[in-house]
A and B are shown apart, each in its own frame.
Chain A
Protein backbone atom coordinates (compact mmCIF):
# COMPACT_ATOMS: atom_id res chain seq x y z
CA UNK A 1 0.00 0.00 0.00
CA UNK A 2 1.26 3.45 -0.86
CA UNK A 3 1.09 6.16 1.71
CA UNK A 4 2.75 8.31 4.34
CA UNK A 5 3.81 7.04 7.73
CA UNK A 6 4.68 9.10 10.76
CA UNK A 7 6.21 7.82 13.93
CA UNK A 8 5.75 7.79 16.79
CA UNK A 9 2.04 8.54 17.14
CA UNK A 10 2.55 10.02 20.61
CA UNK A 11 5.77 11.56 21.87
CA UNK A 12 6.67 13.02 25.23
CA UNK A 13 9.63 15.27 25.76
CA UNK A 14 11.19 17.00 28.69
CA UNK A 15 11.89 20.70 28.41
CA UNK A 16 15.31 21.41 26.96
CA UNK A 17 15.48 18.22 24.90
CA UNK A 18 15.59 17.98 21.13
CA UNK A 19 13.28 15.42 19.54
CA UNK A 20 12.99 14.11 15.98
CA UNK A 21 9.73 13.19 14.30
CA UNK A 22 9.84 10.70 11.47
CA UNK A 23 8.02 10.99 8.14
CA UNK A 24 8.33 8.45 5.35
CA UNK A 25 6.44 8.18 2.05
CA UNK A 26 6.42 5.51 -0.65
CA UNK A 27 4.33 7.49 -3.13
CA UNK A 28 7.39 8.57 -5.13
CA UNK A 29 6.46 12.19 -4.47
CA UNK A 30 9.04 14.91 -4.92
CA UNK A 31 7.59 17.45 -2.48
CA UNK A 32 7.15 17.01 1.27
CA UNK A 33 5.84 19.30 4.00
CA UNK A 34 5.63 19.67 7.77
CA UNK A 35 2.71 21.40 9.44
CA UNK A 36 1.90 22.23 13.00
CA UNK A 37 -1.73 22.10 14.13
CA UNK A 38 -3.04 23.86 17.24
CA UNK A 39 -6.72 24.05 18.23
CA UNK A 40 -8.54 26.79 16.35
CA UNK A 41 -5.50 27.79 14.29
CA UNK A 42 -5.69 25.43 11.36
CA UNK A 43 -2.48 24.17 9.81
CA UNK A 44 0.67 26.26 9.82
CA UNK A 45 3.57 25.41 7.52
CA UNK A 46 6.90 24.78 9.25
CA UNK A 47 9.19 23.61 6.43
CA UNK A 48 8.79 22.20 2.95
CA UNK A 49 11.02 20.48 0.44
CA UNK A 50 10.46 20.36 -3.30
CA UNK A 51 13.36 18.05 -4.06
CA UNK A 52 16.02 15.97 -2.36
CA UNK A 53 18.78 17.96 -0.62
CA UNK A 54 16.73 21.17 -0.73
CA UNK A 55 14.19 22.67 1.65
CA UNK A 56 12.66 26.06 2.50
CA UNK A 57 11.32 27.67 5.62
CA UNK A 58 7.60 27.99 6.02
CA UNK A 59 5.70 30.45 8.15
CA UNK A 60 6.83 29.20 11.58
CA UNK A 61 10.30 27.66 11.09
CA UNK A 62 11.93 29.10 14.23
CA UNK A 63 12.94 26.36 16.64
CA UNK A 64 12.66 23.60 14.04
CA UNK A 65 15.08 21.95 11.63
CA UNK A 66 14.71 19.43 8.80
CA UNK A 67 16.78 17.37 6.39
CA UNK A 68 15.97 15.78 3.04
CA UNK A 69 18.73 13.31 2.27
CA UNK A 70 16.40 10.77 0.65
CA UNK A 71 13.35 11.28 -1.52
CA UNK A 72 11.14 9.19 0.74
CA UNK A 73 12.17 10.70 4.09
CA UNK A 74 11.72 14.16 5.62
CA UNK A 75 12.43 14.11 9.38
CA UNK A 76 11.60 17.11 11.57
CA UNK A 77 13.64 18.01 14.64
CA UNK A 78 11.98 20.09 17.32
CA UNK A 79 14.79 21.84 19.13
CA UNK A 80 14.96 23.28 22.62
CA UNK A 81 14.71 26.71 21.00
CA UNK A 82 11.04 26.08 20.19
CA UNK A 83 9.30 27.75 23.12
CA UNK A 84 5.91 26.09 22.84
CA UNK A 85 6.37 22.75 21.07
CA UNK A 86 3.30 20.93 22.40
CA UNK A 87 1.13 20.39 19.30
CA UNK A 88 -0.06 17.93 16.68
CA UNK A 89 2.44 17.62 13.83
CA UNK A 90 1.40 16.57 10.34
CA UNK A 91 3.60 15.52 7.45
CA UNK A 92 2.37 15.67 3.87
CA UNK A 93 3.61 15.04 0.36
CA UNK A 94 2.63 15.97 -3.18
CA UNK A 95 3.68 14.95 -6.67
CA UNK A 96 6.03 17.83 -7.32
CA UNK A 97 6.89 21.38 -8.14
CA UNK A 98 4.82 23.67 -10.31
CA UNK A 99 1.75 21.49 -10.41
CA UNK A 100 -1.64 22.13 -8.84
CA UNK A 101 -1.74 18.89 -6.92
CA UNK A 102 -3.29 18.05 -3.64
CA UNK A 103 -1.25 17.07 -0.64
CA UNK A 104 -1.48 13.65 0.96
CA UNK A 105 -1.20 13.54 4.73
CA UNK A 106 0.23 11.16 7.27
CA UNK A 107 -1.62 10.22 10.49
CA UNK A 108 0.24 12.78 12.61
CA UNK A 109 2.42 12.81 15.72
CA UNK A 110 1.17 14.37 18.94
CA UNK A 111 4.07 15.92 20.85
CA UNK A 112 3.71 16.81 24.50
CA UNK A 113 6.36 18.64 26.47
CA UNK A 114 6.39 17.70 30.13
Chain B
Protein backbone atom coordinates (compact mmCIF):
# COMPACT_ATOMS: atom_id res chain seq x y z
CA UNK B 1 0.00 0.00 0.00
CA UNK B 2 1.18 3.48 -0.74
CA UNK B 3 2.16 5.84 2.06
CA UNK B 4 3.94 9.11 2.68
CA UNK B 5 6.17 10.14 5.57
CA UNK B 6 7.07 13.77 6.15
CA UNK B 7 10.00 14.19 8.53
CA UNK B 8 9.41 17.01 10.98
CA UNK B 9 5.99 18.38 11.80
CA UNK B 10 7.56 21.83 12.27
CA UNK B 11 10.55 23.34 10.51
CA UNK B 12 12.01 26.80 11.20
CA UNK B 13 14.38 28.64 8.89
CA UNK B 14 15.68 32.18 8.79
CA UNK B 15 14.54 34.54 6.08
CA UNK B 16 16.92 34.15 3.14
CA UNK B 17 18.09 30.68 4.18
CA UNK B 18 17.60 27.41 2.34
CA UNK B 19 14.28 25.66 2.81
CA UNK B 20 14.34 21.84 2.88
CA UNK B 21 11.19 19.86 3.63
CA UNK B 22 11.61 16.11 3.60
CA UNK B 23 9.24 13.55 2.12
CA UNK B 24 9.67 9.79 1.74
CA UNK B 25 7.14 7.59 0.02
CA UNK B 26 6.24 3.95 -0.28
CA UNK B 27 4.64 2.64 -3.44
CA UNK B 28 4.36 -0.71 -5.20
CA UNK B 29 4.36 0.90 -8.65
CA UNK B 30 6.05 3.99 -10.10
CA UNK B 31 4.29 6.77 -8.25
CA UNK B 32 3.05 10.20 -9.06
CA UNK B 33 4.10 12.65 -6.34
CA UNK B 34 2.79 16.04 -5.32
CA UNK B 35 3.59 18.90 -3.00
CA UNK B 36 0.75 21.13 -1.83
CA UNK B 37 0.83 24.29 0.30
CA UNK B 38 -1.88 25.44 2.70
CA UNK B 39 -2.13 28.91 4.17
CA UNK B 40 -4.15 29.36 7.39
CA UNK B 41 -7.87 28.66 7.02
CA UNK B 42 -7.57 28.03 3.30
CA UNK B 43 -7.66 25.07 0.95
CA UNK B 44 -4.61 23.35 -0.51
CA UNK B 45 -2.80 24.73 -3.54
CA UNK B 46 -0.61 22.61 -5.80
CA UNK B 47 3.08 23.63 -5.70
CA UNK B 48 4.43 21.00 -8.09
CA UNK B 49 4.00 17.43 -9.24
CA UNK B 50 6.23 14.61 -10.46
CA UNK B 51 4.82 12.55 -13.30
CA UNK B 52 7.95 10.67 -14.46
CA UNK B 53 8.88 13.17 -17.17
CA UNK B 54 11.86 14.65 -15.28
CA UNK B 55 13.32 13.90 -11.87
CA UNK B 56 13.84 17.57 -10.99
CA UNK B 57 10.53 19.36 -10.90
CA UNK B 58 10.12 23.11 -10.70
CA UNK B 59 7.03 24.59 -9.17
CA UNK B 60 5.49 27.89 -8.25
CA UNK B 61 6.97 30.48 -5.87
CA UNK B 62 10.55 29.31 -6.51
CA UNK B 63 10.10 25.82 -5.06
CA UNK B 64 11.48 22.66 -6.62
CA UNK B 65 11.65 18.99 -5.73
CA UNK B 66 13.82 16.10 -6.83
CA UNK B 67 12.56 12.55 -7.27
CA UNK B 68 15.12 10.00 -6.08
CA UNK B 69 13.94 6.47 -6.69
CA UNK B 70 16.88 4.85 -4.90
CA UNK B 71 16.06 6.83 -1.75
CA UNK B 72 12.26 6.79 -2.26
CA UNK B 73 12.35 10.50 -1.57
CA UNK B 74 10.78 13.65 -2.97
CA UNK B 75 12.20 16.49 -0.87
CA UNK B 76 11.02 20.06 -1.41
CA UNK B 77 13.56 22.88 -1.55
CA UNK B 78 13.75 26.62 -2.06
CA UNK B 79 17.11 28.45 -2.17
CA UNK B 80 16.04 31.51 -0.20
CA UNK B 81 13.12 31.62 2.22
CA UNK B 82 10.68 34.52 2.24
CA UNK B 83 8.31 35.50 5.02
CA UNK B 84 5.39 34.71 2.71
CA UNK B 85 6.51 31.05 2.57
CA UNK B 86 5.25 30.49 6.11
CA UNK B 87 2.52 27.87 5.69
CA UNK B 88 1.85 24.15 6.00
CA UNK B 89 3.20 21.88 3.30
CA UNK B 90 1.84 18.49 2.34
CA UNK B 91 3.54 15.77 0.33
CA UNK B 92 1.23 13.32 -1.43
CA UNK B 93 1.50 10.15 -3.51
CA UNK B 94 -0.77 8.54 -6.08
CA UNK B 95 -0.56 5.16 -7.78
CA UNK B 96 -3.34 6.12 -10.18
CA UNK B 97 -5.86 3.70 -8.72
CA UNK B 98 -9.34 5.00 -7.88
CA UNK B 99 -8.03 8.55 -8.24
CA UNK B 100 -7.04 8.45 -4.60
CA UNK B 101 -4.13 10.51 -3.33
CA UNK B 102 -2.50 9.70 -0.01
CA UNK B 103 -1.36 12.75 1.94
CA UNK B 104 1.39 13.05 4.49
CA UNK B 105 0.64 14.60 7.87
CA UNK B 106 2.13 17.92 6.84
CA UNK B 107 5.08 20.10 7.83
CA UNK B 108 4.51 23.59 9.15
CA UNK B 109 7.20 25.96 7.93
CA UNK B 110 8.11 28.91 10.14
CA UNK B 111 10.20 31.77 8.78
CA UNK B 112 12.34 33.64 11.30
CA UNK B 113 13.11 37.32 10.64
Contacts and interface: CB of A to CB of B under 8 A. Distances in A.
Contacts of B36: 105
B54 to A, nearest CB: 15
Given A108-B41, A108-B42, A108-B43, A98 B104 contact: no
A64 to B, nearest CB: 17
B110 to A, nearest CB: 15
B9 A105 contact: no
A50 B98 contact: yes
B103 interface: yes
Contacts of A4: 43
B51 interface: yes
Interface in A42-68: 42-43, 45, 48, 50, 56, 58
A114 interface: no
A6 to B, nearest CB: 8
Contacts of B45: 105
Nearest to A93: B99
Contact of A42 (B51, B90, B100): B90
A105 B32 contact: no
Interface in B81-113: 90, 94, 96, 98-101, 103-106
B99 A105 contact: no
A42 B106 contact: yes
B44 A105 contact: yes
14 contacts: A31-B99, A42-B104, A43-B44, A48-B98, A88-B41, A92-B43, A94-B99, A98-B99, A99-B99, A102-B34, A103-B101, A107-B43, A108-B42, A108-B43
A90 B43 contact: yes
A96 B103 CA distance: 19
Interface in B1-44: 9, 32, 34, 36, 41-44
Nearest to A88: B41
Contact of B105 (A6, A42, A100, A110): A42
B42 A43 contact: no
Contacts of A11: none
A103 B102 CA distance: 11
